Amino acid sequence: MIKFQNVCKTYENGVEALKDVSFTIADGEFVFVVGPSGSGKSTLVKLLCAELKPTDGEVTVGEYDIGTMPRRHVPYLRREIGVVFQDFRLIADRTVYENVAFVMRAVGASTRSIRKRVPYVLELVGIDHKADRMPDELSGGEQQRVAVARALVNNPDFILADEPTGNLDPMRSLELMTLLSEINARGTTVVVVTHAHEIVNAFKKRVITLEDGVVVSDRRGGYFGPGRIRHEQE
Amino acid sequence: MNKNKSSVFSHLIYFIKEGFSGVFFHGFMSVAAITVIAACLLVTTTFLLVAYNIDMQIEDLQSSNEIVVYIDETLTREQAMALKSGITALDNVADAIFVTREEFFENFLDSLGEDTYVLDELREDNPMRDSFRVVMEDVALHAETLKALTELQGIADSNSDVELSERLVQLRSVVNTVSLTLLVLLGTVSLFVISNTVKLALHARAEEIGVMKMVGATNSFIRAPFVVEGIILGVAASVFVFAAQWLVYNYLGAQLSQGLPILTMVPFEEFRYRLAIILFAAGVVLGMSGSVLTIKRYMKV
Ligand SMILES: Nc1ncnc2c1ncn2[C@@H]1O[C@H](COP(=O)(O)OP(=O)(O)OP(=O)(O)O)[C@@H](O)[C@H]1O
Ligand SMILES: [Mg+2]
């Protein structure tokens, strides 16, 4: 479970990125987080993976309280969260297979379990036929699949994606979102930060809308952007 | 994830592999680092060995429990032999053995070995003096005993190397000071060089480190390969230095024993294991602390 309770985040320069934000995401949910640029979405993501601590209020991820947890627990929190970034962040001089195997080794998996798990995950995201390629030999969509495979491989409870479709064309974006919702169907909680209105509208999932650091809407259905008429759904 | 015993082993292999690949990846930098560290260790160990040799020499001089005193040649043999009671009456003297000048000369010839026929004519005109071999009870009181002996009537001279010994003690304190200064100075230089190399490695792998942190690798797991890299640099340097000392020391030893036969160097074989252990430990400690300090400074979670 993810829980934000009256969370405020003020950066050192005085910018109030989040102001009294509260919501709960239950296990197994699929949630879009939307909002205009600068509304605090990435700040929210950074709080979830303990890159930042809340200035005020409480952020809880599973059993971890982000505000009070000791530093040495941070790696173990991060093992429960698979993160997918807009810019993929693959290691350029390692093959697709190694990019994924690397994160298993990084959390102490044995060579044997790596050999078993990595091909399975690569197949799951449909990139197994390019396991020996280097990242720069792949298209953007393929690279993003590798990034998803990497986020998945340690079997996290949560998948957190910050604008994962930012570098993809609409077709690839739709494919990726479909993949994420399939993963969600297997029981993983998925949180996707995005600007892609069409996709959000197409999926009919829960949407949390931020504006200027405040949650202005939290409901199931389509994108409720600024200046648009906000319809109630159901 | 599933962490079992075999994974501990595969980690170790991973760290060592990554450590070595770091050393090779930064080939030129690594060679430069190893060279500088080796130079520092070479200078430091050279001074340590000089200090060690001086120590041994002093110990040698001071551990001899005998002093030979020569008797004024104007004394008759009877007068000379009569000095014995005066000598044995002194504090710290256990025994005094009279050695005639003829015996002394024969001993001297014996000690020279074969080709002594050139000295045969000297036998008639013996340049030696009668003497006493004085045996001390406590070698620590060497200087005091010698003073008492030379103050006796009829004693002309002695063979004692108190002066040499004192000069060596002075030299030792100078060498020790220099060694210590060099140890600190060159140790710092080595640390700095290792730190720089590791910093470069950290830079080259910033991307990987970022990913590792993001997926929940512990700090110690991320650090280990860099620490291994530092240790490899340190130990590689110490291996070179050991080999270099072996060659140089034996060469110098051979040269010195030809030029200055009184000064004997301790044979390399006698301390090579100790030197190897000291160098190895220095390499590991330098490499480890150099990299740990750097990682702590440049890799915040
Ligand atoms: N490290 C930082 N220091 C100071 N201010 C920051 C920092 N990071 C973000 N901000 C500010 O906080 C506010 C929210 O930023 P955030 O990155 O969360 O927005 P966002 O919703 O992710 O925007 P975008 O859609 O453009 O990615 C912005 O005003 C931004 O300028
Ligand atoms: Mg953002």
> Quick check: A97 and A116 in contact, CB under 8 A?
no
Contact flag A76-B216 (C-beta cutoff 8 Å):
yes
DSSP tag of A90:
-
Return the pLDDT at B3. Answer: 45
Q: Which ligand is nearest to the CA of A213?
A: 1
Which structure tokens are listed for A162?
Answer: 């910050």
Given ligand 1 and candidates A39, A163, A214, A216, which is best to mutate, with the most ligand atoms within 8 Å of its CB? A39
Return the pLDDT at B50. Answer: 84
In angstroms, the separation between the Cα of residue A149 and the nearest Cα of chain B is: 12
> Quick check: A146 and A93 in contact, CB under 8 A?
no
Q: Which ligand is nearest to the CA of A33?
A: 1
**Closest residue by Cα to residue A137 from A87, A179, A101, A95:** A95
- Going by pLDDT thresholds of 50, 70 and 90, the confidence category of residue B114 is low
Per-residue pLDDT tens over the stretch A130-145: 999 999 999 888 998 9
Return the pLDDT at B217. Answer: 87
Burial track B71-96 (b if 16+ CB lie within 10 A, e otherwise): beeebeeeebeebeeebeebebbeeb
Return the pLDDT at A224. Answer: 57
Q: Does the pLDDT of residue A179 top 70, yes or no?
A: yes
Return the pLDDT at A157. Answer: 93
- Going by pLDDT thresholds of 50, 70 and 90, the confidence category of residue A231 is very low
Return the pLDDT at A73. Answer: 93
For residue B186, the CA-to-ligand 1 centroid distance in Å is 48
Per-residue pLDDT tens over the stretch B68-87: 888 887 878 788 778 888 88
Return the pLDDT at A77. Answer: 93
| Phi (first) and psi of residue B300, to 5 degrees | -85, 145
Whole-structure pTM value:
0.69
> Quick check: B64 and B139 in contact, CB under 8 A?
yes
Q: Does the pLDDT of residue B298 top 80, yes or no?
A: no
Return the pLDDT at A131. Answer: 94
Contact residues, chain B to chain A, C-beta under 8 Å: 1-4, 6-7, 10-11, 14, 207-208, 210-219, 221-222, 301
Per-range mean pLDDT, top range of A119-123, B4-8, B91-95, B118-122: A119-123
Q: Which strands, in side-by-side order, build the sheet including B66-71?
A: B93-99, B131-136, B66-71, B155-158
Contact flag A106-B7 (C-beta cutoff 8 Å):
no
Question: What average pLDDT score do residues B138-157 get?
Answer: 78
Return the pLDDT at A54. Answer: 96
> Largest alpha-carbon pair distance within chain B?
99
Q: Which ligand is nearest to the CA of A212?
A: 1
Angle formed by the axes of helices A111-124 and B5-25, nearest 10°? 80
Per-residue pLDDT tens over the stretch A196-205: 888 888 888 9
Question: What average pLDDT score do residues B203-208 get?
Answer: 81
Per-residue pLDDT tens over the stretch A24-33: 999 999 999 9
In angstroms, the separation between the Cα of residue A134 and the nearest Cα of chain B is: 15
* Fold of the domain spanning A1-80+189-234: Rossmann fold (3.40.50)
Question: What average pLDDT score do residues B126-140 get?
Answer: 79
- Percentage of chain A beyond pLDDT 70 is 94
Q: Output the residue whose Cα is nearest ligand 1's atom 4.
A: A11
Minimal-distance CA residue of chain A relative to B205: A91
In angstroms, the separation between the Cα of residue A181 and the nearest Cα of chain B is: 21
Rounded to 5°, the CA angle B74-B76-B79 comes to 110
Nearest CB to A83; choose among B1, B214, B301: B214
| Chain B residues with CB-CB distance to A109 below 8 A | 1-3, 7
- Does the CB atom of residue A43 touch ligand 1 within 6 A? yes
Return the pLDDT at A229. Answer: 40
Per-residue pLDDT tens over the stretch A13-24: 999 999 999 999
Contact flag B216-A102 (C-beta cutoff 8 Å):
no
Q: Output the residue whose Cα is nearest ligand 1's atom 28.
A: A38
Contact flag B215-A111 (C-beta cutoff 8 Å):
no
- Going by pLDDT thresholds of 50, 70 and 90, the confidence category of residue B112 is low
Return the pLDDT at B118. Answer: 64
Chain B CB within 8 Å of residue A75 CB: yes
Question: What average pLDDT score do residues B122-137 get?
Answer: 77
- Cα–Cα distance list, A94 to A54, A195, A213, B19, B299 (Å): 36, 30, 38, 17, 22
Question: What average pLDDT score do residues B283-292 get?
Answer: 89
Question: What average pLDDT score do residues A40-59 get?
Answer: 94
Per-residue pLDDT tens over the stretch A103-126: 898 888 888 999 999 999 999 888
Q: Hey, what domains does chain B have and what are their CATH numbers?
A: 2-61+166-298 (no CATH), 66-160 (3.30.70.3040)
Contact flag A111-B7 (C-beta cutoff 8 Å):
yes
Question: What average pLDDT score do residues A169-196 get?
Answer: 90
**Closest residue by Cα to residue A102 from A26, A154, A29, A60:** A154
Domains in chain A: boundaries = 1-80+189-234
Cβ neighbour number for residue B141 with a 10 Å cutoff: 15
A189-193 and A30-34 strand pairing: parallel
Q: Does the pLDDT of residue B28 top 90, yes or no?
A: no
> Largest alpha-carbon pair distance within chain A?
55
Nearest ligand 1 atom to alpha carbon A13? 4
